[in-house]
Structure 1
Amino acid sequence: MLEEQTEDESIITSTVEDYLETILVLCEEKGEAQITEIAKSLTPSRSKPSVTEFVTKLRRHGLVHYKKYGTVTLTKKGRKIAQKIKKRHDYLSSFLQMLGVSEDQSEEDACIMEHNLSKETGSRFEAFVRFLQKKEQEDVLKRFTKYLEQTQ
C-alpha cells in the first residue's frame, strides 16, 4: 500500500536531501555554512547563483535560516531531515565497506542509494549493519572476506 505524503514530505526530493545533508556536514564542521562552501561540496559542484536560489527555496519551506550574503544554518525541521539522510548514508557506506568496496566508492554509491530506498528497506539496512558490527559477528565478515579472496 502506498503511503500518503504530507505537503512537507512532497517537497523532499533527492536534491533537497543532498543540500540539507551538505549543510548539516558543513555546520557540524564549522558551525555554519557559506553559499560558496555548499556549492563546492555538492556533487557535482554547483554555481553560487544556483545554490543561492535553491537555499532561498529551502528557506521558504522552513528548512534553513538564510539572509542574503549571510550564512546558512538548518532549522529544527531541516536538521531532523538532514540527520535522517546522513544516518542512512553512513549505514549504507559502512555496509558497502564491509563488502570490501573502497571508501571513496562506497561514499559515492551511498549518495545514490540513500535517496532510493523505502523506509522499511533503509531500516533493515541499518539493523543489519548494527548486527554485523557486533563483536560476535566478526566471524561472518572474516568468512565473507575469505570467500571474496577465493573467488577473485
Structure 2
Amino acid sequence: MKIQESAENYLESILMISERKGEVRSIDIVNELEFSKPSVSIAMKNLRENGYILVDKDGYITLTEKGMVIAEKMYERHKLFSRLFVSLGVDAKTAAKDACRVEHILSDETFAAIKKYITEQGII
C-alpha cells in the first residue's frame, strides 16, 4: 500500500526526533515541521488508526514495525540525497530541503540504482 508523502514525512520526522531526543510527543513534531497543533493531531490520529504509530497514555509516540520500515526508507533517502547535493556544492540547508522533495518521488528501483552508482564511484 502506497501512503501519502505527508505521512512519509511525519514518520521520518518521528524517527529523526526519537534519534535526537529519545522520545517523541506531538509538540516535538509541531516544532520540527512547523505545522499547527491541530494538523499534527489529525495526522497522528490517522497514522495511529492505520497502524503506523502507537501513542501511550502519556502522549509519547513510537513507530510500529510498519511505520519504522517507511521512516527508515525515507530517512536513508534523505541522508543520501542531502550528502550528494552538498558534495555537488549545494548549500546544506538547500540540499536538505531539496532532498526532502526528491526522496518521495523516486521508485525503489531508481533509488537503488543511484545508491549503487554513488557507492561504486565513491562519490560520497
**Is residue 100 from structure 1 mapped to residue 72 from structure 2 by the alignment?**
no
Report the TM-score, using the length of structure 1 for normalisation.
0.76
Deviations 1:17-67 (A, max 9, x none): 10000000011111221111101111xx21112101110110111100114
| Cα offset, 1:69, TM superposition | 5.6
Partner Cα distance (2:107, 2:31) in 1: 29
RMSD of the alignment, in Å? 1.7
**Which protein, 1 or 2, shows the higher relative CO under an 8 Å CA cutoff with sep ≥ 6?**
2
What code does the residue aligned with 2:9 have? D
Partner Cα distance (2:101, 2:47) in 1: 21
Contact 1:32 1:72 in 2 (8 A): yes
Q: Among 48, 62, 66, which residue is 1:77 paired with? A: 66
Which stretches of structure 1, 4 residues or more, deviate above 4 A after TM superposition?
none
Partner Cα distance (1:75, 1:18) in 2: 15
**Is residue 34 from structure 1 mapped to residue 61 from structure 2 by the alignment?**
no
What code does the residue aligned with 1:115 have? H
Partner Cα distance (1:85, 1:95) in 2: 15
**Is residue 57 from structure 1 mapped to residue 46 from structure 2 by the alignment?**
yes
Q: Among 111, 114, 123, which residue is 1:122 paired with? A: 111
Q: Among 123, 131, 140, which residue is 2:120 paired with? A: 131
What code does the residue aligned with 1:51 have? V
Identity %: 37
| Cα offset, 1:131, TM superposition | 2.3
| Structure 2: segments with no counterpart, 5+ residues | none
| Structure 1: segments with no counterpart, 5+ residues | 1-8, 142-152
Aligned residues: 124
Partner Cα distance (2:38, 2:58) in 1: 11
